[in-house]
Amino acid sequence: MAEDWKGKPDSYWREKLTAEQYRVMREKGTEAPWAGVLVDNHDDGMYRCMACGQELFSSETKFESNSGWPSFYDVAAEGHVELHEDNTLGMKRTEVTCARCGAHLGHVFDDGPADKTGQRYCINSCALDFEGKK
């Protein structure tokens, strides 16, 4: 039987995540632009959910958006992220969460590379764990 990541209590996440990761991933915060360690990462590998390890984005789909956050034009696999309408802060956006644990990752916009998917998954660096290719 699969582990119930979405059913884990708040105390589990407070212990597992740093204060910044908790603020972003559990309270739907946003890290400051250009503050994340993975913004300028150009290594080959897989970006995983920092909370549960789910594969989220491949380095093959990462691109320079100059937004200040890691940006990807596609997900690693169908069903690994969920999209939700987000009308907070007086804006209409689409929130991206981890399908396994429900962690807030960032938002997706329709201004990505037109020759790919046209999508820009704008993801908080602190929500990602990078696993380089061996």
Whether the predicted pLDDT of 3 surpasses 90: no
Per-residue pLDDT band for 67 (boundaries 50, 70, 90) equals very high
Whether the predicted pLDDT of 41 surpasses 90: yes
Residue partners of 113: CB distance under 8 A and separation at least 6: 63, 73
Q: Whole-number mean pLDDT of the chain?
A: 95
Q: For 75-134, how does the pLDDT look when each residue is reduced to its tens digit (9 = 90+)?
A: 999 999 999 999 987 889 999 999 999 999 999 999 999 999 999 999 999 999 999 997
| CA distances, 29 to each of 45, 76, 113, 125 (Å) | 26, 23, 26, 12
Q: What is the DSSP string of 14-82?
A: HHHS-HHHHHHHTT---PPTT-STTTT---SEEEEETTT--EEEEGGGEE--SSSS-EESS-SSTTSEE
Whether the predicted pLDDT of 17 surpasses 90: yes
Confidence at residue 1, expressed as pLDDT on a 0 to 100 scale:
59
CATH of 32-132, one of 1.20.120.430, 2.170.150.20, 1.10.569.10, 3.30.70.380: 2.170.150.20
Confidence at residue 126, expressed as pLDDT on a 0 to 100 scale:
97
Look up 122 and say whether it is catalytic. Answer: yes
Q: Which is catalytic among the residues 98, 101, 122, 126? A: 122
Instruction: Classify each residue of 84-116 as buried b or exposed e, where b means 16 or more C-beta atoms within 10 Å of its C-beta.
Output: eeeeeeeeebebbbbbbbbbbbbbbbeebeeee
